[in-house]
Chains A and B, each alone.
Chain A
Amino acid sequence: MKNKAIEVRNLRITYKNFEKTSIKNSLFRFKKIKSSDFVAIDDVSFDIEKGEILGIIGKNGSGKSTLLRSIAGIFSADSGTIDLKENSVSLLSIGVGFQKELTGRENIYLSGMLLGFREKQIKEKEEEIVKFSELENFIDKPVKTYSSGMHSKLAFSITAILETEIMLIDEVLSVGDQHFKKKSYAKMNELILHEDRTVVIVSHSISTLNDLCDRVMWIHDGKIKQIGEPKKTLEHYQKFMNK
């Protein structure tokens, strides 16, 4: 019996369409504005074991990213619980708020600290990050001078090399040019396949999910349509989408 890393129970997340308001609206409209709820995740429960790699697939707007963000603690659940068993978690996505005036190196520290690392820990990994990002010549120049490719290379390197116990990956398996793409894909594999690491990947790429995942979850309109064997689930998904 393996340990559970993530436990999700009866999770429900809604977006209210009329959350935002203006002073004029609240002062001059005495009628109560009817707010229509949009249910992004509806009564979802699942477990992820320690070291497991779970893929999530589904059409656009089916709630994949919402689910990922709520696991990362950015969204609150309207009802239900997410238990991370005190694991550290990071959402791997492009560019955790770089400060454009600062140099790449300073941004490494800033992002790292934001992810909850100590200055000392970052210092140890600093050279590795710089090396992996292939930006040795630019790392002490302000980020605003970077091209968009360099920008995403740096972002990828930071989150990939500062490792956490649970990694949430939202469609970032392709950054940079052909060469860096290959390299980052290899690095991803290495990270993901590390046996203690729990990974959740959201992707549209059937082949990626098929290669990497232990299980695949198919989400449709906020509900789990199917969860299990990657091959089977992906087959059903493809059939459904091609209809």
Chain B
Amino acid sequence: MKRIAQDISKYWNYMMYSAKADLKSEVASSHLNWVWWVLEPLCMMFIYAFIFGVIFDASEQYFSIFIFIGLTMWNFFNKTVTYSVKSVKSSKSVVSKVYIPKYLLIIKKMMVNAFKMMISFGIVFCMMIFFKVSPTWNMLWWALIVLTLIVCTFAISVHLQHFGVYVEDLHNALRIVLRVIFYMSGIFYNLETRVPAPYNEILLKGNPMALLLDSMRKALLYDQNIDWGILLVVLLGSILLGLWGINRIYKNENGYAKVI
């Protein structure tokens, strides 16, 4: 524990600078530069809203915001997890020349993705004003849900980072698994009403992603109470899983450079 705090504070500046640099280099060579961060999720939202709202005739209230919340949180999870599998290999030039606690690579990437997620949530809030969603106290759950999402994503990513070093084709398998989770989380449809019982309950309780999305929508859009008990369980479980992962990285990371 002490070592984690020490390492994070030691490399904090580097992570911040490097995350900023990542964002900068992403937009440096394009014409629209940062506009892409707004444009991309917006366009995706329009596509899904058209397909599922018009063609499949979904009838949820505030359907475009409904989808947008889903995409915002999914993108954060998806991008971080996908990166983590290849993180050590793709940072070979750094990893083979200096020592850096390897899980910090994930935290750095999470900073980048969290920044984009915040822009996305900014758009969500603008849309909520535009569609006249009335503000409620339930909206304050937002903070807890985002925190849980971040910790949960990190916990899964550290373990994937470790296995990604040794198992060459893990990213292929992961792509499929992620696609399954994508459809099982109800990003563009309402799990609770569209999936027949008892499967909807199982999915909502067993798939943290579905739980997080569902809670977020309830809190922001529909002024319903969320099941914060389960959320806390997920958060706590993620913290433990994450610590276990960090411990695993500490034990093994100096062997990584020999393999990549």
Contacts and interface: CB of A to CB of B under 8 A. Distances in A.
A, B assembled together: yes
A5 interface: no
A101 B217 CA distance: 38
Nearest to A112: B14
Contact of A69 (B24, B169, B255, B257): B257
B169 A73 contact: no
Interface in A130-144: 142
Contact of A19 (B98, B100, B169, B258): B258
A116 interface: yes
Interface in A80-138: 90-91, 93, 95-102, 106, 109-110, 113-116, 118-119
Contact of A97 (B13, B25, B93): B93
Given A99-B21, A114-B14, A21 B100 contact: no
B259 interface: yes
Given A23-B170, A75-B254, A115 B28 contact: no
Nearest to B10: A116
Contacts of A106: 21, 24
Interface string B78-107: 000000000000010111111110000000
B25 A102 contact: yes
A100 B24 CA distance: 11
Given A101-B25, A101-B28, A74 B167 contact: no
A72 B167 contact: no
Contact of B254 (A19, A74, A91): A74
A16 B100 CA distance: 23
Contacts of A101: 24-26, 28-29
B166 interface: yes
Interface in B1-23: 10-11, 13-14, 17-18, 21-22
B28 A91 contact: no
B240 to A, nearest CB: 26
A96 B29 contact: no
B40 interface: no
A32 interface: no
Contacts of A118: 13
Contacts of A2: none
A110 B18 contact: yes
Contacts of A93: 97
Given A24-B169, A110-B18, A110-B21, A72 B257 contact: no
Q: Which of under 10, 10 to 19, 20 to 34, or 35 or more describes the interface residues of A?
A: 35 or more
A113 B17 CA distance: 9
A66 B136 CA distance: 61
Contact of B257 (A16, A75, A100, A142): A75
A126 to B, nearest CB: 14
B167 A23 contact: yes
Given A102-B21, A109-B17, A22 B99 contact: no
B180 interface: no
Nearest to B100: A114
Contacts of A100: 25
B173 A97 contact: no
A88 B95 CA distance: 18
Contacts of A226: none
A142 B170 CA distance: 34
A19 B166 contact: yes
Contact of A72 (B21, B25, B99, B173): B99
A179 interface: no
B57 interface: no
Interface in B121-174: 166-170, 172-173
A96 B98 contact: yes
Interface in B150-202: 166-170, 172-173
Interface in A34-78: 69, 72-76
A114 B169 contact: no
Nearest to B20: A106
Interface of A: 15-16, 19-24, 26, 69, 72-76, 90-91, 93, 95-102, 106, 109-110, 113-116, 118-119, 142
Query: Which 8 pairs show the lowest CB-CB distances between chains A and B?
Result: A76-B254, A101-B25, A97-B93, A113-B14, A97-B94, A73-B99, A22-B168, A22-B169
Given A24-B169, A97-B91, 5 more contacts: A74-B96, A75-B257, A106-B21, A110-B14, A114-B94
24 contacts: A19-B166, A20-B167, A20-B259, A21-B167, A23-B169, A69-B257, A72-B99, A74-B98, A74-B254, A74-B257, A75-B258, A76-B255, A91-B98, A93-B97, A95-B93, A96-B93, A96-B94, A99-B22, A102-B21, A110-B17, A114-B14, A114-B100, A115-B98, A116-B10
